[in-house]
Amino acid sequence: MTPLFAQLLVYSASTATATTNNGAGMLSQSPGGTTTTSTFTFATSLQAKLTGCQIYDTRPVYVRSGVPGQDTSATLVLNLAPSSTITGVSFAYKYVTGYKGTVGANFTLEVAGSAAYTSPTLNKYQCPDKTCSNGKGSDAGYSPPVAAAATGLSITVPSTGGNVAFKFHNVDKNIQLELPIQINITCAGAEPCFAGLAPPGSFDWIRSIAAGPAGQKVQLEAKTYLIDKQYQLPRGTELRGVGTSTSTGEGASGAPSQTVIKAVGTPFNACAGASISNPGLVQGRKGLLLGDDTYVGGFHFIGMETKRLDCLYAPIETPGCTNSEGDFPAPPNVTGGPEGPAGRNLVCPEFTGNGGHGVRNATVEDVTVEPYTTQNMFFMAPTPAGARVSQDITVRNMRVNGTWADGVNIHGQHTNVLVEGCTVVNSGDDCFALWSIGADLDNVTFKNNYAKPHPGRNCCFVNFGGLRSTFIDNRGDGCGLTPSRNNIPKGSEGLVIFGAPTLTPAPKGVVNELFGGAWNSSSHAIVKNVTGTCAGSSGCKTCNLLAKLMYPSGFPGTLSCQ
């Protein structure tokens, strides 16, 4: 899948050679000497630290300068290269002003603390009402593009680096700037103006693997490899790092690994639905997509997410629907409705890879994940109606200390999955989850794993439907849900939870405590030698069936809890 803004950080250096495109930027001739132009596309709320202003992910997306009478700022999440000299800036913007007041507002683009460009007082294009937009893509009330440029600058960036920021001065109105805004910054010399840009050729290692042929056996060195998107591994690929360094404490606590794969580039903030509901959302994933007969292991992965997003993607996944967090009671169709924000769609309009089909005989082993840089540690995505599901998947010895969503989530109708010897601490949601489509997820085993969620707010091990499931020789601490999480009734704690204690949004009269999953008379769940502690004060059951509205007579199949 191609994101809406496929590359938000590029650079171009003026040299003595003809223009070439190397994937990281443009190299071109400039008669007046060597300069570099680096480009940043300001498109989403993930790309700025806001002080007094706001970014609204509507249609169009815009940054709002706060309230009249305030001075506010939006500092972009990029670092200027230390000790560089900025010689010019250019960009274009579209704006509307607030509907009250008479004077207007203006803004300054600061570079390394110095004013590089200051707008005139903006007052001409007044918002006609309180909405300023119909929320459906119209920006008819906005100004035409206003070209902004400053040349002949000589701004020295401190040795510690510097920032780029919009500083708003709301006299008696506020303003809205439509996003995205592409900002070009020129500096002296042949090096990028921004620190941390990927040098030319940084992604060749993974692009060559993804291009094939099948059956490659790749040994990664003890160094850092950069990755800019999600890559499908061809059949039979073996990708091995030199191993992860030993972490102390609970899981991957940030200790460096010998082989590191680090996500860089576009700060994606959506996984699906953006093109339908909101063009300001930047879609995409970063990491590895397993193929048939593939093996990956022996490395540390560093993502770049900074908050909970709208889906459950992970640095390592099996192929399936990009809309990965849908409550699917049956395999989703590719077309049909409803469509909209990705969170609970009932369709599968786009695939991560492999034509939407799952994979067979894939193994993940000895992988650590940097704390709070990804949604999940590992994810198996649902597959659409008519597609092959994933089967014979092994996940062994993965560790993480901090995710924004789940740790391990097996979502769909997959068959024969083993998750063994893994550690998930401080997950943003459930540590280990199996999440069936209907009752068709089959033969999933969680063995010898350790879970420690945020106490009282998430589950250690959870079953949302399916046929055969096994939880054996696991341990969890601080397990289960307590009233500290909104609307959760007392008595919801447990080491292994079956179903949800509250209803999810659903059509009137529909009870959905399994998020599209189900059990039937053929369902068989085994819980054996699962030990640990619970978060609350209402007891600590080894097994706790919470889907009591859907199953008032109890588990419909066989539940063996030992």
pLDDT in tens, 189-237: 988 898 876 777 899 999 999 999 999 999 999 999 999 999 999 999 9
Q: What is the pLDDT of residue 268?
A: 67
- How many other β-carbons are positioned within 10 Å of the β-carbon of residue 385? 14
Query: Higher model confidence: residue 122 or residue 274?
Result: 122
Task: Answer whether 86's CB lies under 8 Å from 110's CB.
Answer: no
Per DSSP, the three-state class of 65 is: coil
Which residues lie closer than 8 Å to 385 by C-beta, 6 or more apart? Answer: 330, 331, 332, 333, 334, 348
Model confidence band, residue 454 (pLDDT cutoffs 50, 70, 90): confident
Is residue 437 classed exposed, middle or buried when 0-12, 13-18 and 19+ CB atoms within 10 A define those classes?
buried
Nearest partner of 74 among 135, 139, 207, 164, judged by Cα: 164
Percent of the chain whose predicted confidence (pLDDT) is above 90: 57
Chain-wide mean pLDDT for the chain? 83
According to the 3-state scheme, what is the secondary structure of 172-189? CCCEEEECCEEEEEEEEC
Q: What is the pLDDT of residue 407?
A: 97
Is residue 384 classed exposed, middle or buried when 0-12, 13-18 and 19+ CB atoms within 10 A define those classes?
buried
pLDDT in tens, 282-305: 567 899 999 999 999 999 999 988
- How many other β-carbons are positioned within 10 Å of the β-carbon of residue 232? 17
User: Does 250 have pLDDT greater than 50?
Assistant: no
Distances (CA, A) of 218 to 210, 221, 358, 359, 464: 12, 10, 23, 20, 37
Q: What is the pLDDT of residue 539?
A: 85
Alpha helix ranges (H) inside 302-403: none
* Mean pLDDT (whole number) for 175-196: 90
User: Parallel, antiparallel, or unpaired: how do β-strands 408-412 and 432-436 relate?
Assistant: parallel
How many angstroms separate the CA atoms of 447 and 421, rounded?
7
Task: Answer whether 369's CB lies under 8 Å from 252's CB.
Answer: yes
Model confidence band, residue 393 (pLDDT cutoffs 50, 70, 90): very high
How many angstroms separate the CA atoms of 498 and 544, rounded?
6
Q: What is the pLDDT of residue 77?
A: 82
Task: Answer whether 236's CB lies under 8 Å from 214's CB.
Answer: yes
Please tell me whether the peptide bond between 60 and the residue prior to it is cis, using omega within 30 degrees of 0.
Answer: yes
Per DSSP, the three-state class of 208 is: helix
How many angstroms separate the CA atoms of 143 and 125, rounded?
6
Model confidence band, residue 501 (pLDDT cutoffs 50, 70, 90): confident
How many angstroms separate the CA atoms of 221 and 243, rounded?
10
How many angstroms separate the CA atoms of 478 and 309, rounded?
24
Task: Answer whether 463's CB lies under 8 Å from 515's CB.
Answer: no
Q: Which of 39-43, 341-345, 411-415 has the lowest mean pLDDT?
A: 341-345
User: Does 450 have pLDDT greater than 70?
Assistant: yes
Which residues lie closer than 8 Å to 453 by C-beta, 6 or more apart? Answer: 424, 426, 427, 429, 430, 431, 459, 460, 476, 478, 479
Q: What is the pLDDT of residue 500?
A: 87
Q: Which of 54-63, 227-236, 341-350 has the lowest mean pLDDT?
A: 341-350
User: Which amino acid belongs to residue 56?
Assistant: Y
User: Does 422 have pLDDT greater than 50?
Assistant: yes
Model confidence band, residue 184 (pLDDT cutoffs 50, 70, 90): very high
pLDDT in tens, 60-108: 889 999 989 889 999 998 889 999 999 999 999 999 988 777 898 999 9
Which residues lie closer than 8 Å to 32 by C-beta, 6 or more apart? Answer: none
Cα 273 → chain centroid: 14
Model confidence band, residue 530 (pLDDT cutoffs 50, 70, 90): very high
Per the document, the length of the chain is 562
Of the ranges 56-60, 115-119, 274-278, 281-285, the best mean pLDDT one: 115-119
Query: What is the dihedral sign for C-alpha 419, 268, 227, 197?
Result: negative
Percent of the chain whose predicted confidence (pLDDT) is above 70: 81
How many angstroms separate the CA atoms of 231 and 316, rounded?
10
User: Does 134 have pLDDT greater than 60?
Assistant: no
How many angstroms separate the CA atoms of 338 and 312, rounded?
20
Nearest partner of 30 among 47, 12, 43, judged by Cα: 12
What predicted TM-score, i.e. pTM, was given to this entire model?
A: 0.72
Nearest partner of 447 among 414, 415, 417, judged by Cα: 417
Query: Higher model confidence: residue 231 or residue 6?
Result: 231
Q: Which of 41-50, 320-329, 498-507 has the lowest mean pLDDT?
A: 498-507
Dihedral-angle region of residue 392 (phi above 0 means left; psi in -120 to 50 means alpha; beta otherwise): left
Query: Higher model confidence: residue 437 or residue 323?
Result: 437
Which residues lie closer than 8 Å to 170 by C-beta, 6 or more apart? Answer: 65, 66, 67, 68, 69, 70, 71, 72, 105
User: Does 509 have pLDDT greater than 90?
Assistant: no
Nearest partner of 305 among 274, 271, 273, 280, judged by Cα: 271
Which residues lie closer than 8 Å to 274 by C-beta, 6 or more apart? Answer: 4, 280, 281, 282, 283, 342
User: Does 274 have pLDDT greater than 50?
Assistant: no
User: Does 7 have pLDDT greater than 70?
Assistant: no
Q: What is the pLDDT of residue 279?
A: 43
Residue in the structure block whose two tokens are 């010689």: 87
Instruction: Domains for the chain: give ranges and CATH numbers.
Output: 9-188 (2.60.120.260)
User: Which amino acid belongs to residue 59?
Assistant: R
